[in-house]
Structure 1
Amino acid sequence: MDPVIVVGAGPVGLALSLALAGQGVPSVVLDEGPGKDLPRPARTVVLHSDTAAMVHRLGCAPLRDEGASYAAWRTRRRGRDTGRITFDDEPAPLHVPQHALTRGLRGAAAVHPLVNLVTDSRLDALEQDDRGVTAHTRGAETTWWRGSHLVGCDGARSTVRKLLGIRFPGRTAVERHAVAALRTELPWPGEALLHRDPPHETTARPLPDGVWRLDWLLPARGELVTPDALVTLIRDTMASWCEGTTPPYDLLDTGVHTLHHRLAIRWRERRAFLAGDAAHLLGALGTQGVEEGLRDAENLAWKLALAWHHGASESLLDSYEDERRTAVAARLRAADQAVPALRGGGGLRTLLPGSGRSGEALLTDGHLGRGPLGALPAYAPPVAVREVPTATDPGGPVANVPVSAPDGSTVPLRDMLGRGRLLVVLVAPGTGVWDRRHWLGAGLMPRLAAAVSALPVRADLLVADGYPGAPAHTVLLVRPDGHLAATFAGVRPAELYEAADAVRMGAPATPDRTPSTTPSGAVD
């Protein structure tokens, strides 16, 4: 069986290759560049709880040393504090340089036996047939590569998207920002800041070692920002925060970023797929394009893995576009509706009738991963089985509760994701203090274990001492990417089987295959 071809070695392409490898699927990653990423302190990524957990599962070197979790989120308006949010009951966002994220993922990919990183390889042609995809590259290895599927993770100017003839409509220059990374002391150590003085808007986000990333909203189509103008902006901004005096600072990096909103018409063309910036561009009002790309990778990986190992229905492969394109489109719609109200002075009441929410609150949603601008996506399940209401609706991301794993250890539920398996979780209060060998043969467990072993897709049986909103003996069926598929009152083997079959969207479209575990190389 041929490997999956991943075009592009940015965070999304590397994450996809590692997610596939974690499920036993080999990949060839075609990297147009030399395999090195230049440090750019002013180019950063914010990871929320789901994507931070995903990066950790993929074996990325710990980012805590190079990233910083917000101690709090502070808002100011016209020089006065208007709010402060702490993260006592939820994980704080993790702010990391993008080059550090890419380097960590590249390091994990470089040592994984199922990932073949090929540098200096520029795609210039691809062909598809009923059994796979053939890609031609020029560069250090000018050759044809053969794969079972191909995924374009090659950015906003995606060659894959162009070769597939997929249109990429949208809006140009939705927002423009000046950005600077500098080392200094600000009055709020470790706290992120949103400061609005309409039409002006500034954010400050901490990094380790006293480094900060500052962003200034610019007119969408204005004059070029000269170095002198940027220095003046830095000094004036910090003086306004520090009682009229600019503190000492070291300027590390600068840039001007123009944000576009675009959405590919299709994300799948037979055996070829798009992900990340090749499929969508977003980033206005605090939303995170890289993070949405990581969610693309997690959604697609388990579906391709099922197809690679056992065959998958066309409906399951189609569901990648259905789910992820719908989620990103909703994010883009929310931002496009909010921009005129926030930037044009029309007032939020025109956007949210009857709402007294401030612009700071709406922007906070985007930056902190909340509300229509930032909340984790929910995917409509094929069959919405909800015998037991819980705090999570079917299709939503599951709560990261502690669970007892098959080896007897107690781990966060999200640590069990990314293995290409369904998760069946029994809510059994009190079992957290039992040894696994005791509760495996007690109560509902023998019947549930037998039902899980008979499912049409591999599954792990877990036990949770509790789950938000769920009574004792609730059984949760969780997709391999952490979205809730169904809930049951007790052990219901036939219904559980039906729900598991609905998750895989029916039997494979082709006969089961026994794949080779050795990655294919170049085609002679």
Structure 2
Amino acid sequence: MDPVIIIGAGPVGLTLALLLARQNVPAVVVDEGPGQDEPRPARTVVLREDTAALLERLTAVALGEHGVRWAGWRSLRRKQAMSEVTFDNADPAAPLHIAQHVLTNALRAAAADEPLVNVAVDSRLDAIEQERSGVSAHTRGSTATWWRGSFLIGCDGPRSTVRKLQDIRFPGRTAVERHAVATLRVELPWEGQALLHRMPPWRSSGPSAGEVTARPLPGGAWRLDWLLPPGKDLVTPEVLLTRIRETLAGWSDGPTPVYDLLDTGVHTVHHRLARRWRAGRVFLAGDAAHLLGALGTQGLDEGLRDADNLAWKLATAWHHGAHEALLDSYQTERRAAVAARLRAADQVLPVLRGGGGLRHIVPGTARGHEALLTDAHLGRGLLGAPGTHADSPLMPRPLEAAIPVETPPGAPVADVRVTAEDGSFVQLRDRLGRGALLVVLIAPGTGVWDRKHWVSAGVMPRLAAAVTALPHPAELLVAESYPGAPAHSVLLVRPDGHLVAALSGVRPAELYTAAEAALGGAAKEAAQEEPAQAGSGARR
């Protein structure tokens, strides 16, 4: 079968290619550039726990050694400390701040070592043709080439050629926020901690008072972002230097400390959402599908979640035949999750920036503001947490044996230690992204015994037989405990780490039903639907 064609060799496109390769699906990555990202210290990304772990699995690189995991978070308003969060050493919940070129080059290196990934540099897409059996893409550059693929994914950014060729609208708001950015090497009072300072006392009151954010980078460097007032005023070098000096002097309670300016820029935040994320065999992901980033949220996080969601569905279709309900669920799930983030930000922005009350959202006024901003920056709550898929078409109907655990159905599972089928102890998250469903038995006490002593005892043989009979490859894991799960309960987890169902005991029939739903429905229904759907979807 033909490889998957991925347009765009940024973090989202390369991540998708590596995820497909882990599931034995070849991919061609069409890269408009020369194949190497130039260093830009002012262009950085903040990764939350799930996306940082995803990238570390794919690159086999300890990203914390190339970025900084925040030691804490501090929020100030004028001179008053509003909130403070401290992270323990190596706490996976601590956001990771890293230069984007470092991240992209780590993904490029992993792709270069992966035989199933072919990166075509100096190639620009200019045509797409779809038919029932596949998709073709024409690129120009050093040579003109037609590429033949099973599917094509546009990961080619805000000005996506894929989106334009498919005539997909991209409505939204322009310049929701603007920030002046500077990366500099300097000693600040909050070593390793990120800081949000609203209405700093050295700025005048009113819209221009704004806010400044400081995020640590390796080697004593910091990225500083100043929220700019509405409008299109140019940020001249003189204006930026004034901001740097007054901010550093204000934080130091004295003269401006010595600093080394490394890079500058202006970051403009747009909020846009593509009308469709699928057109037949063509899909959109990352900035090609959505733009967000106001209030400290990071669009790359959502782009990486797009790739994680789409990869196992494409791999299932590639190996077992296209199942329209499964492929359609990508748009249903991910577009709804991003739309919820955008709605939340758009509702909160006028209140936060206009100084109005927040009593109807969070009790209190100023402290309510800080709680919302803290959640957004730390990846928590409505503005920052990973999306759930409780209303997904892949969720099973109510099951008689279903039980509640601390993870709601459709939400990402907790990363607990499990025993794998070879007897090794691993983290649950390490088994994700391989294309298999995960079945986790909660069995207290198993961790102190060698697997050979309990693998053939109790409910294990019956559960192992039920796992073998599932309609999709699945891996059986055993955990000592899981938050909120009683002993002998069974969890069914999707390849991208979202909980399908938690069942009381070994219930083979209900486990099969839940697995079947997670794949988009019965296999025989997929076989019946495929010919009609594939033909009608080719030119959507």
After TM superposition, the score normalised by the length of structure 2 is 0.93
Aligned to 2:27: 27
Aligned to 1:522: none
Q: Output the amino acid matched with 2:159.
A: R
Q: Give the counterpart of 1:126 among 122, 125, 128.
A: 128
User: How far is 1:90 from its partner?
Assistant: 5.8
Aligned to 1:413: 428
Q: Classify 1:350/1:221 alpha carbon distance in 2 versus 1 (closer, same or farther; 3 Å).
A: farther
User: How far is 1:223 from its partner?
Assistant: 1.3
Aligned to 2:496: 481
Q: Classify 1:207/1:486 alpha carbon distance in 2 versus 1 (closer, same or farther; 3 Å).
A: same
User: How far is 1:356 from its partner?
Assistant: 7.7
Q: Does structure 2 retain, via aligned residues, the 8 Å contact 1:60–1:107?
A: no
Q: Higher mean Cα deviation, 218-227 or 167-176?
A: 218-227
Deviation readout 1:459-513 (Å, 9 max, x if unpaired)? 0000000000111001000000000000111110111011100000122734999
User: How far is 1:357 from its partner?
Assistant: 4.5
Q: Give the counterpart of 1:502 among 514, 517, 527.
A: 517
Aligned to 2:40: 40
Aligned to 2:381: 371
Deviation readout 1:105-158 (Å, 9 max, x if unpaired)? 011001100000000110000000111000000012311100000000000000
Q: What is the count of residue pairs matched by the alignment?
A: 513
User: How far is 1:351 from its partner?
Assistant: 4.9
Q: Distance in 2 between matches of 1:403 and 1:511?
A: 38
Deviation readout 1:149-187 (Å, 9 max, x if unpaired)? 000000000000000000000001100000010001000
Secondary structure, counterpart of 1:481 in structure 2? coil
Q: Give the counterpart of 2:100 among 98, 101, 104.
A: 98
Secondary structure, counterpart of 1:125 in structure 2? strand
Q: Output the amino acid matched with 1:368.
A: L
Q: Output the amino acid matched with 2:191.
A: P
Q: Does structure 1 retain, via aligned residues, the 8 Å contact 2:362–2:368?
A: no
After TM superposition, the score normalised by the length of structure 1 is 0.95
Q: Distance in 2 between matches of 1:512 and 1:324?
A: 23
Secondary structure, counterpart of 2:65 in structure 1? coil
Q: Output the amino acid matched with 2:146.
A: W
Secondary structure, counterpart of 1:166 in structure 2? coil
Aligned to 1:169: 171
RMSD across aligned positions (CA): 1.7
Aligned to 2:536: none
Q: Classify 1:351/1:492 alpha carbon distance in 2 versus 1 (closer, same or farther; 3 Å).
A: closer
Q: Does structure 2 retain, via aligned residues, the 8 Å contact 1:68–1:208?
A: yes
Q: Distance in 1 between matches of 2:112 and 2:528?
A: 33
Q: Distance in 1 between matches of 2:334 and 2:210?
A: 33
Deviation readout 1:211-237 (Å, 9 max, x if unpaired)? 000000001314101111101100100
User: How far is 1:443 from its partner?
Assistant: 1.1
User: How far is 1:32 from its partner?
Assistant: 0.6
Within 5 A, what are the aligned runs for 1:48-67? 48-67=48-67
Q: Does structure 1 retain, via aligned residues, the 8 Å contact 2:494–2:500?
A: yes
Q: Output the amino acid matched with 1:17.
A: A
Q: Does structure 1 retain, via aligned residues, the 8 Å contact 2:324–2:529?
A: no
Aligned to 1:323: 333
Aligned to 2:237: 227
Q: Distance in 2 between matches of 1:91 and 1:372?
A: 17
Aligned to 2:137: 135
Structure with greater helix share of residues: 2
Q: Give the counterpart of 1:273 among 283, 300, 317.
A: 283
Deviation readout 1:21-40 (Å, 9 max, x if unpaired)? 01000000000111110101
The answer to whether structure 1 residue 83 and structure 2 residue 98 are counterparts is no
Secondary structure, counterpart of 2:13 in structure 1? helix
Percent identity between matched residues is 68
Aligned to 1:303: 313
Within 5 A, what are the aligned runs for 1:195-210? 195-197=197-199, 199-210=209-220
Q: Output the amino acid matched with 1:123.
A: L
Unpaired runs of at least 5, structure 1: 514-524
Deviation readout 1:321-342 (Å, 9 max, x if unpaired)? 0000000000000000010001
Q: Classify 1:171/1:60 alpha carbon distance in 2 versus 1 (closer, same or farther; 3 Å).
A: farther
Q: Higher mean Cα deviation, 155-164 or 79-88?
A: 79-88
Runs of 4+ with deviation above 6 angstroms: 353-356
Q: Does structure 2 retain, via aligned residues, the 8 Å contact 1:312–1:504?
A: no
The answer to whether structure 1 residue 148 and structure 2 residue 163 are counterparts is no
The answer to whether structure 1 residue 400 and structure 2 residue 410 are counterparts is no
Secondary structure, counterpart of 2:433 in structure 1? coil
Deviation readout 1:382-438 (Å, 9 max, x if unpaired)? 215472210011101100011111221111111110000000000001111111222
Q: Does structure 1 retain, via aligned residues, the 8 Å contact 2:210–2:229?
A: no
Secondary structure, counterpart of 1:349 in structure 2? coil
Secondary structure, counterpart of 2:218 in structure 1? coil
Q: Output the amino acid matched with 2:347.
A: Q
Q: Does structure 2 retain, via aligned residues, the 8 Å contact 1:170–1:261?
A: yes
Q: Distance in 2 between matches of 1:49 and 1:481?
A: 14
Aligned to 1:462: 477
Q: Does structure 1 retain, via aligned residues, the 8 Å contact 2:357–2:365?
A: no
Q: Does structure 2 retain, via aligned residues, the 8 Å contact 1:11–1:105?
A: yes
Q: Does structure 2 retain, via aligned residues, the 8 Å contact 1:60–1:105?
A: no
Aligned to 2:159: 157
Q: Classify 1:464/1:155 alpha carbon distance in 2 versus 1 (closer, same or farther; 3 Å).
A: same
The answer to whether structure 1 residue 217 and structure 2 residue 219 are counterparts is no
Q: Give the counterpart of 1:313 among 313, 323, 343.
A: 323
Q: Does structure 2 retain, via aligned residues, the 8 Å contact 1:348–1:357?
A: no
Q: Does structure 2 retain, via aligned residues, the 8 Å contact 1:303–1:312?
A: no
Secondary structure, counterpart of 1:64 in structure 2? helix
